[in-house]
Amino acid sequence: MSVCITTGHRKADYVMKAHAALDTVTRLRRPDAETVRAVPPRPAEAEREITLLCPGPCSTSPRVKQALARQDISHRDRAFVEVLDRVMARLRVVAGAPEADVLITGGGATAATEAVLATFVGQDERLLVVSNGAFGERIAEMAQCLGIHMSHLRYDWGEPIVLEQVQGMLDGDPRIRSVAMVHHETSVGRLNPVNEVGRLLAPRHIRYLVDVVSSLGGEEFDFVRSRASVVIGSANKCLHGVAGAAFVITRKELWEETAHVRPRSMFLDLRRYRAAVRENGQTPFTPPVPAVVALDAALAELEAEGGVPARRANYRALNARIRSGLRGMGLTLKFDGPGSAASLTVAQLPPGLSFDSFNHDLRARGFLVYRGKGPVSHDHFLVANMGYLDLATINRFLETVAAIAGLPA
């Protein structure tokens, strides 16, 4: 059973649903004796290199690309064990979690999030999901799929989370033993108050599950100060790795606190991952080896750049240029102001252009952005400044937008 409390006035329900489609193509069988003339294929035209200005996956550096192309490596060989050990150590530094356990998973952040819910929320416990966008709502949907008893404090997309309302939910239901929230709600480019919510939960001994998928590496976050029990991250956002590898960082005490939770999955049972690391420094199942190797290179690069503070300063400079450039063209920005992320902008489409036509022309000129989500999917686009980018690239992007839209640059 789930309880949903919605704040604000909503005209529609934008809960994301997973859809699957199967296309069946039937072909007529030719007579056995028919002769078919072979037609030589046309030589494929070289694909133009695209600069990814979307909130993951992001454009990667030559160093990361080179790591992807290195020699074959087996996940059971000591060479990969050494890579995995370096990645886990470097993630502790980036997250400010020197004493925490780090586990590497395959399948992306969605799989890692589902693994956290399946491993750390008991069958007889209640989870509170606090959301103000697509990815918080996705957590709620995962909980429903797993049969978790849930309350959902759901705000309109982009609305700030009100601590007093979170506290009211906790005071009103002592069955709540876990709270889940997204730090950077990427669908709206908003940073949520993870430290403040953590201070509410710590005295109550309520487990705190935090999605740092689009914030770790590019926004200010500290595992200890947040008082998080567990955080979920991904390689292909602000860490500048590639898609396919995700990770979970947990307090060591969490394992004993949740020893009563029965596994809901084999592949997503994080206790198996912890046991494998402790026994032989490996993963229990085949990991995405190239993505982990690339993450190792990306984390080394982050360290060489001066760590998260230096990257965040660079993000802020690039983001400020994007915002000022788009405003200069007369485009309005959505979800702007205090609490905005340093890595993402939600902007109005140029007048008279649909997203499909705008994106087609933009891609033909070497840039990729994303369609707005949920309530702004029809008239806004998302442009991120994550990844291997510089100011010259951002200026070229703005000039390209102006040229497509016929607006002053």
Task: State whether 317 and 276 are in the same domain.
Answer: no
Q: How confident is the model at residue 394, as a pLDDT?
A: 98
In a domain, residue 180? The reply is yes
Task: State whether 179 and 285 are in the same domain.
Answer: yes
The confidence band for 25, taking pLDDT boundaries of 50, 70 and 90, is very low
For residue 23, CA distances in Å to 19, 20, 26, 30, 333 come to: 13, 10, 10, 22, 38
Mean pLDDT of all residues in 87-106: 98
Task: State whether 225 and 363 are in the same domain.
Answer: no
User: How far is the C-alpha of 280 from the C-alpha of 103, rounded, in Å?
Assistant: 13
Mean pLDDT of all residues in 355-363: 97
How many alpha carbons lie under 13 Å from residue 270 in its C-beta half-sphere?
30
What are 50-72's pLDDT values in tens digits?
999 999 999 999 999 999 988 78
The confidence band for 46, taking pLDDT boundaries of 50, 70 and 90, is low
Closest among 233, 176, 186 to 207, alpha carbons compared: 176
Give percent of the chain above pLDDT 70.
Answer: 89
Mean pLDDT of all residues in 129-149: 97
In a 10 Å sphere around its CB, with 0-12 CB exposed, 13-18 middle and 19+ buried, how is residue 294 labelled?
A: buried
Task: State whether 357 and 388 are in the same domain.
Answer: yes
In a domain, residue 3? The reply is no
Tokens 């996940």 — which residue? Answer: 75
| H helix count then E strand count, the chain | 13, 16
45, pLDDT greater than 70: no
Look at residues 278, 304, 330 and tell me which one is the last residue of a structural domain: 304
Alpha helices by DSSP H, 146-230: 163-172, 194-201, 223-226
Task: State whether 289 and 330 are in the same domain.
Answer: no
Mean pLDDT of all residues in 142-148: 96
Mean residue pLDDT across the chain: 90
Number of domains in the chain: 2
User: How far is the C-alpha of 210 from the C-alpha of 162, rounded, in Å?
Assistant: 17
Q: For strands 190-191 and 184-185, give the pairing.
A: antiparallel
Q: How confident is the model at residue 1, as a pLDDT?
A: 52
User: How far is the C-alpha of 100 from the C-alpha of 224, rounded, in Å?
Assistant: 9
Task: State whether 253 and 278 are in the same domain.
Answer: yes
CATH of the domain at 221: 3.40.640.10
The confidence band for 7, taking pLDDT boundaries of 50, 70 and 90, is low
- Model confidence, pTM: 0.88
For residue 348, CA distances in Å to 153, 345, 358 come to: 28, 10, 11
What are 182-228's pLDDT values in tens digits?
999 999 999 999 999 999 999 999 999 999 999 999 999 999 999 99
* Planar angle of CA 191, 192, 195, nearest 5 degrees: 115
Look at residues 260, 280, 304 and tell me which one is the last residue of a structural domain: 304
Task: State whether 272 and 365 are in the same domain.
Answer: no
Task: State whether 330 and 209 are in the same domain.
Answer: no
In a domain, residue 168? The reply is yes
Mean pLDDT of all residues in 288-310: 97
Task: State whether 269 and 335 are in the same domain.
Answer: no
For residue 268, CA distances in Å to 20, 105, 164, 194, 366 come to: 21, 9, 34, 25, 38
Task: State whether 248 and 348 are in the same domain.
Answer: no
Q: Where are the beta strands (DSSP E) in 38-175?
A: 51-52, 101-106, 126-131, 149-154
Task: State whether 333 and 274 are in the same domain.
Answer: no
Q: How confident is the model at residue 26, as a pLDDT?
A: 33
The confidence band for 34, taking pLDDT boundaries of 50, 70 and 90, is very low
In a domain, residue 34? The reply is no
Higher pLDDT, 62 or 24: 62
Q: How confident is the model at residue 32, as a pLDDT?
A: 46
The confidence band for 5, taking pLDDT boundaries of 50, 70 and 90, is confident
Q: How confident is the model at residue 310, as a pLDDT?
A: 98
36, pLDDT greater than 60: no
Tokens 């240029």 — which residue? Answer: 321
The pair of three-digit structure tokens given for residue 100, joined into one six-digit string? 């925490």
Mean pLDDT of all residues in 75-86: 94
In a 10 Å sphere around its CB, with 0-12 CB exposed, 13-18 middle and 19+ buried, how is residue 7 labelled?
A: middle
What are 223-256's pLDDT values in tens digits?
999 999 999 999 999 999 999 999 999 999 999 9
In a domain, residue 118? The reply is yes
Output the CA torsion sign for 216, 218, 223, 227. negative
User: How far is the C-alpha of 69 from the C-alpha of 293, rounded, in Å?
Assistant: 10
Task: State whether 300 and 330 are in the same domain.
Answer: no
Look at residues 236, 269, 304 and tell me which one is the last residue of a structural domain: 304
In a domain, residue 122? The reply is yes
CATH of the domain at 333: 3.90.1150.10
Residue type, 260: H
In a domain, residue 146? The reply is yes
> What residues make up the domain containing 133?
62-304
In a domain, residue 11? The reply is no
Cis peptide before 57 (omega within 30 of 0): yes
What are 372-394's pLDDT values in tens digits?
999 999 999 999 999 999 999 99
